[in-house]
């Protein structure tokens, strides 16, 4: 056989047809659902079909029916030279339930709408986009790979584009958040090969959520180990490979050794196209200058959607009037957390420059009015734009108690409503947070195949 995995998949279908009447004395009335519990591996060198039982009770039930099963295998085998059967008993205690089929809800069903979502652009994203396109076209040598980047950079959108492209080619594709997939996947580490007899491509999002879940980590490593050579697999990770530090060493090593590509925040062109798509979805007609202002105010996709939905909510009762640019500025400034490119160190440094001080003065204990205002404004911007928790901010600002940070954020939020100096200071810090990237050409046609 030139491809044992694909041949086994076809063979299993033919074998099931030969077993439609069920094995005499079997637990089913036809259709042989118990066949899914057997792990099959073809060894071409010895023309051996190795059958592994899921647990000892299955093997005991099966023993009297080996002759009938062997006859069915001989009839269903595609070639004249049927393989010798080799049976393998499982190690360890018997599980309570035999492995079941993967739920249909985990499989990707393309509806066409996801294909319209824009992709993150920019020269820095050329490599991950090229990798994704190669996976979508099923080019050899590009899978499996690990797609990582900060929250809101478009990792989920890219997974959806790849999954949709493969689904259009007729593949059975699974696309799911990692936590949801392993919550509903009925397989275990020793039965991982069963997965590849039911699915042909796997895309898992947010695998960082598997920290503290050794069973899921080991099953993921087993799925990678048993992956057929041409089966596309892409894993998405928020952050970098360092986020796997809390994983068990074996599964972490299995993921770290994959091809790795970092996705950076979308550039202005991609953010504009994303807002235009969101406007179409929500029946909003906003001028281009309004969209450009919004694209400058939020660096990531989830921040853009949040801002646009707040615009819709604020003006849905007055559809005849467009919000002014000043309206949008106020709405963006008083809204929820927006993503940014800078870290808290850059914002601290900019706050220090605003009051002619050193960054150590911002995190220190100085009580000069301008210093205190810059410190509190920096806390506010870090909270709104980095999404850091209050305890994290307290540690970043000189080991302060989280209640001090809460007070500062609330104070600046109130002062923003009327204090021009505070508005100017916060705007300057936010400009530091949202560093622009150059526009780039469209990448929407990457997955046109």
Report the pLDDT averaged over residues 181-193. Answer: 85
Q: Which residue has the higher pLDDT, 210 or 79?
A: 210
pLDDT score for 122 = 60
Residue bearing tokens 């991950």: 128
Q: Which residue has the higher pLDDT, 344 or 376?
A: 376
CA angle 369, 371, 375 (to 5 degrees): 120
pLDDT score for 440 = 38
Report the pLDDT averaged over residues 157-181. Answer: 92
pLDDT score for 235 = 96
One DSSP character per residue, 312-360 reads HHHHTT-TTSPPPHHHHHHHHHHSS----SS-HHHHHHHHHHHTT--HH
Report the pLDDT averaged over residues 225-238. Answer: 92
pLDDT over 90 at 386, yes or no: no
Using CA atoms, how far residue 102 sits from 5, 37, 194, 395, in Å, is: 18, 12, 9, 45
- In angstroms, rounded to a whole number, what is the distance separating the alpha carbons of residues 261 and 263? 7
Quick one: pLDDT band at residue 411, thresholds 50, 70, 90?
very high
Quick one: pLDDT band at residue 218, thresholds 50, 70, 90?
very high
Report the pLDDT averaged over residues 203-229. Answer: 92
pLDDT over 90 at 423, yes or no: no
Least confident piece of the model among 7-11, 87-91, 403-407: 7-11
pLDDT over 70 at 3, yes or no: no
Q: Which residue has the higher pLDDT, 89 or 258?
A: 258
Quick one: pLDDT band at residue 446, thresholds 50, 70, 90?
very low
Least confident piece of the model among 132-141, 258-267, 310-319: 310-319
pLDDT score for 437 = 35
Quick one: pLDDT band at residue 98, thresholds 50, 70, 90?
very low
Which span out of 98-102, 128-132, 279-283, 312-316 was modeled with the highest average pLDDT? Answer: 128-132
pLDDT over 80 at 39, yes or no: yes
Using CA atoms, how far residue 296 sits from 228, 272, 338, in Å, is: 44, 9, 11
pLDDT over 70 at 233, yes or no: yes
Report the pLDDT averaged over residues 156-172. Answer: 91
pLDDT score for 443 = 41
pLDDT score for 29 = 40
pLDDT over 90 at 208, yes or no: yes
- For the chain, the average pLDDT equals 79
Q: What secondary structure letter does DSSP report for 391?
A: H
What is the value of pTM for the model shown? 0.51
- In angstroms, rounded to a whole number, what is the distance separating the alpha carbons of residues 17 and 443? 46
Q: Which residue has the higher pLDDT, 357 or 233?
A: 233
pLDDT score for 447 = 45
The per-residue pLDDT for range 127-159, each reduced to its tens digit, is 888 898 999 899 888 889 999 988 878 888 899
- In angstroms, rounded to a whole number, what is the distance separating the alpha carbons of residues 133 and 141? 12
Percent residues over pLDDT 90 in the chain: 17
pLDDT score for 53 = 86
pLDDT score for 5 = 46
- CA pseudo-torsion sign 300, 112, 147, 238: positive
pLDDT score for 363 = 86
The per-residue pLDDT for range 391-406, each reduced to its tens digit, is 778 888 888 888 898 9
pLDDT score for 449 = 41
Quick one: pLDDT band at residue 1, thresholds 50, 70, 90?
very low
Quick one: pLDDT band at residue 194, thresholds 50, 70, 90?
confident
């Amino acid at each position: 056989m030139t491809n044992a995995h694909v041949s086994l998949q076809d063979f299993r279908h033919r074998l099931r047809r030969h077993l439609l009447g069920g094995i005499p004395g079997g637990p089913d009335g036809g259709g042989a659902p118990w066949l899914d519990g057997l792990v099959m591996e073809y060894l071409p060198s010895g023309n051996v079909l190795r059958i592994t039982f899921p647990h000892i009770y299955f093997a005991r039930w099966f023993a009297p029916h080996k002759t009938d099963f062997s006859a069915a295998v001989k009839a269903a085998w595609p070639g004249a030279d049927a393989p010798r059967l080799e049976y393998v008993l499982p190690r360890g205690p018997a599980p309570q339930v035999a492995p079941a089929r993967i739920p249909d809800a985990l499989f990707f069903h393309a509806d066409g709408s996801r294909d319209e979502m824009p992709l993150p652009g920019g020269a820095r994203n050329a490599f991950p986009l090229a990798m994704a396109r190669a996976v979508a076209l099923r080019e050899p040598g590009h899978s499996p790979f690990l797609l990582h980047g900060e929250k809101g950079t478009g990792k989920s959108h890219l997974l959806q584009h790849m999954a949709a492209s493969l689904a259009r080619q007729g593949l059975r594709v699974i696309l799911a958040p990692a936590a949801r997939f392993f919550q509903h996947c009925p397989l275990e580490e020793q039965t991982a090969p069963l997965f590849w007899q039911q699915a042909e491509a796997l895309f898992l999002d947010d695998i960082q959520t598997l920290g503290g879940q050794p069973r899921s980590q080991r099953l993921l490593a087993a799925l990678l180990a048993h992956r057929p050579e041409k089966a596309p697999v892409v894993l998405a990770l928020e952050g970098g490979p360092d986020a796997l530090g809390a994983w068990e060493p074996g599964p972490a090593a299995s993921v770290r050794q994959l091809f790795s590509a970092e996705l950076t925040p979308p550039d202005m062109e991609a953010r504009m196209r994303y807002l235009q798509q969101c406007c179409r979805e929500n029946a909003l007609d906003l001028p281009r200058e309004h969209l450009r202002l919004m694209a400058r105010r939020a660096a990531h996709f989830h921040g853009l959607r949040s801002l646009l939905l707040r615009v819709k909510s604020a003006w849905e009762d007055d559809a005849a009037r467009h919000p002014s640019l000043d309206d949008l500025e106020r709405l963006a400034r008083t809204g929820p957390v927006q993503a940014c490119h800078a870290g808290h160190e850059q914002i601290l440094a900019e706050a220090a420059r605003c009051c002619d001080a050193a960054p150590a003065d911002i995190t220190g204990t100085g009580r000069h009015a301008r210093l205190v205002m810059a410190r509190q404004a920096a806390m506010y911007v870090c909270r709104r734009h980095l999404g850091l928790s209050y305890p994290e901010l307290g540690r970043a600002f000189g080991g302060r108690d989280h209640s001090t940070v809460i007070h500062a954020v609330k104070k600046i939020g109130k002062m923003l409503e009327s204090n021009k100096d505070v508005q100017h200071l916060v705007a300057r810090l936010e400009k530091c947070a949202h560093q622009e990237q150059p526009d780039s050409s469209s990448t929407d046609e990457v997955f046109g195949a």
